[in-house]
Amino acid sequence: MAGEPVQPIKPGTWTPDPGAAPLHRMIAAQAAQETRQLLRNGEQLTLMLIIPLLLLVAFSLEPLIDFGGGYTRIDFLTPGVIALAVMSTAFTSQAIGTGFERRYGVLKRLGATPLSRAGLIAAKTATVIGVELLQAAIILAVALALGWSPDADVSAIVTVPLLVLLGTAAFSGFALLLAGTLRAEATLAAANLIYVVLLGIGGVVFPLTKFPRAARPLLELLPTGALSTGLRDVLANAAAFPARDVVTLAVWAIAGIALAARFFRWE
Amino acid sequence: MSIPPAVEISGLVKRYGPATAADGLSLTAGRGEVTAILGPNGAGKTTTIEVCEGYRSADAGTVRVLGLDPARDAARLKPRVGVMLQSGGIPPAVPAGEYLRTLSRFHVKPHDTAWLLDIVGLTSHVKTPYKRLSGGQQQRLSLAAAVVGRPELVFLDEPTAGMDPQARHATWDLVTALRADGVGVILTTHFMEEAERLADHVVIIDHGRVVADGAPAQLTGTAGQLRFRAESGLDTDSLLAALPPGSAAKESPAGHYLIEVPGGTVQPALLAAVTAWCADRAVLPSSLQIESRTLEDVFLELTGKDLRA
């Protein structure tokens, strides 16, 4: 077509022979596609990697804030920056990406393929978790290079993934709620605004102890506050099981997923 | 048990608030046939197709695609059906080759994607992001995506909109090849020539109802028209007087003459009368053709000439 040679098409070429690939192969193909899309996108990379790393390096090298509580700067910052990385991927990036996919009819078109909606959600979840593992590897390597020395119980092997998974579920639920109900531009604005606000009041870089005493319990009940506080308890205070933060995140996760399931519109 | 048709719609009703997009619409599309659904904007074409594709549920009536219910049997039906949306559906930043490869992995025996891109003339755009393709190239990628899984049936919603003539002809060749290999094709189009060339079966829809249904030749009828070109301003009244009774003659636009035999067929005597009349005036007619009404004539007669919102 249009300047390129048209191939003669042999009879029998198009003889029908349909069939859906196994679900795990479809999910893997879609997740690989979405991961490549994310890693190619400069704005998303800035959000997911550059900003967390900049905060980690800048606030740990210079005494910009008194963190209190007897922490070294890097020991205070590392759990908070991990919480921020989880929020940026599972919430902000996923909300914006899905919002535009909905606008461009990408979700609609995928609905005509053998990949089911549950399969698509599984692919998105696998993408988020894969990117989080990449973020964790880079952030933890930089933190160790900056002198991070975690003070953690052996149970952290379980509690850290648990907190991150619950946080991911909560953030993903609300990401899909925004993306599936608002226009793409409104989702973009709201997701960025919420990101900045929660970065400020979520115990990521600025300790919650610096906020008025009355506000603190409320801030610890926000998903970012619960995730950063829980991770800090486990990684800097050797807490065995941060029960309150686990419960808080679980409630957010259930609420977010239930609301998304109820209100999400595919087109 | 007989093999069910590709699409069988009976009494389909679909409302969007106060607007009725399908109002008791019934049609049947045969397996391995090309069925063209025509209609003015807003007639209900896309709604009808999207109910078949499982995107919308019917308010009333039954819809069967390959004998299955598009809503209830979605998981069994989707692998067997290829879909080309009217526009979009592809992530803007994803390269053409990568997108097609991902979709191909949803199928057991997909076509080779490099070969398929070659078939639709996009080999030199394998790495071009979707948003940097021209409108026609985007359509061709979308067409390739519809057939990559070796479907039994494809739905093409205005497949050649925005294509240049080369791409349009290549798309027609592809549709013809699909049909020859037993793939059913349901397409909507605004190009009557497209429907006349490709379709075994034409369905004209207006106001959510079927207003005509049949093979193109059935709809256009017998050869009841004679057209020719000559200098403008010839006296059509005297021409009409020279013709057998029941004929009609007009000049529209200037220099284009049309003689119609409503409900009948042009007979040799009519042709002789026209050429004799021309010879008397030393007029040499050119592009003289005897033909049936075009599908466009039928379409405009059935759906009117008013512009649609």
Q: Is A21 left (phi over 0), alpha (psi -120 to 50) or beta?
A: beta
Res A8: pLDDT? 62
d(CA A9, CA B178) in angstroms, rounded, equals 10
pLDDT at A5: 46
Q: Which of residues 90-109 of B touch A (CB under 8 A)?
A: 90-94, 98-99, 102-103, 105-109
Residue B256, classed as helix, strand or coil, is strand
pLDDT at A3: 46
Q: What does the angle CA A257 – CA A263 – CA A265 come to, to the nearest 5 degrees? A: 115
Identify from A113, A117, A265 which residue to disrupt to test chain B contact, counting B C-beta atoms within 10 A and taking the largest count. Answer: A113
Task: Name every residue whose Cβ is closer than 8 Å to that of residue A3 and which is 6 or more positions away in sequence.
Answer: B121, B166
ipTM given for this complex: 0.88
Contacts of B151 in chain A (CB under 8 A): 16, 18
A118 touches chain B (CB under 8 A): no
Contact B29, B181 (CB under 8 A): no
SS3 B275: helix
Model pLDDT for residues B115-131, shown as the tens digit of each residue: 999 999 999 999 999 99
Query: Averaged over B61-82, what is the pLDDT?
Result: 96
Specify if A18 maps to a domain.
no
Closest by Cβ to A14, choosing from B91, B121, B183: B183
- Establish if A97 belongs to a structural domain: yes
User: How confident is the model over B130-146, as a mean pLDDT?
Assistant: 95
**Residue B302 confidence (pLDDT):** 85
pTM, to two decimals:
0.87
Higher pLDDT, B264 or B239: B239
Alpha-carbon torsion angle B29, B33, B34, B35, nearest 10: -10
Q: How far is the alpha carbon of A25 from chain B, nearest alpha carbon, in Å? A: 7
Tell me, yes or no, whether A15 lies in a domain.
no
Host domain of residue A212: 23-58+67-263
State whether residue A6 sits within 8 Å of chain B by CB: yes
Cβ atoms A111, A266 nearer than 8 A: yes
B252 near A CB under 8 A? no
The tally of domains found in chain A comes to 1
pLDDT score, position B42: 87
Please answer yes or no on whether B174 and A101 come within 8 Å at the CB atom.
no
Let me know if residue A13 belongs to a domain: no
B166 and chain A in contact, CB less than 8 A:
yes
Contact at 8 Å (CB) between A226 and A248? Answer: yes
pLDDT for B219 beyond 90? no
**pLDDT score for A86:** 98
Q: With an 8 Å Cβ cutoff, are A15 and B75 in contact? A: no
- pLDDT, greater one: A61 or B112: B112
CATH level 2 (architecture), domain B7-219: 3-Layer(aba) Sandwich (3.40)
Chain A window 45-104: which residues touch B at a Cβ cutoff of 8 Å? 101, 104
Alpha carbons B103 and B120: distance in angstroms, whole number: 16
pLDDT for residue B304: 81
**Chain A residues touching B81 at Cβ < 8 A:** 18, 112
User: What is the torsion angle, in degrees rounded to the nearest 10, for the CA atoms of residue B265, residue B266, residue B267 and residue B273?
Assistant: 150
In chain B, what residues touch A43 (CB-CB under 8 Å)?
none
How confident is the model over B8-29, as pLDDT tens digits? 999 999 999 889 999 999 999 9
Of A1, A19, A111, which has the smallest distance from its Cβ to B55's Cβ?
A111
* pLDDT tens figures, A196-237: 999 999 999 999 988 999 999 999 999 999 999 999 999 999
Question: Distance (Å, rounded) from C-alpha B50 to C-alpha A109?
Answer: 11
Interchain proximity A29–B174, CB inside 8 Å:
no
> Can you give the pLDDT at residue B100?
98
Structure tokens at A216: 């603190």
Low-confidence ranges of chain A (pLDDT < 50): 1-5
The answer to whether A33 faces chain B, any CB pair under 8 Å, is: yes
Chain B: residue nearest A110 by CA?
B89
- Range among B147-156, B160-169, B226-235 rated most confident: B147-156
Chain B residues near residue A25 by CB distance under 8 angstroms: 105
Q: Do A33 and B109 touch (CB under 8 A)?
A: no
Q: Which residue in chain A has the smallest CA separation from B173?
A: A9
Q: Is residue A11 part of a domain?
A: no
Which 3 state secondary structure label does DSSP give B147? Answer: helix
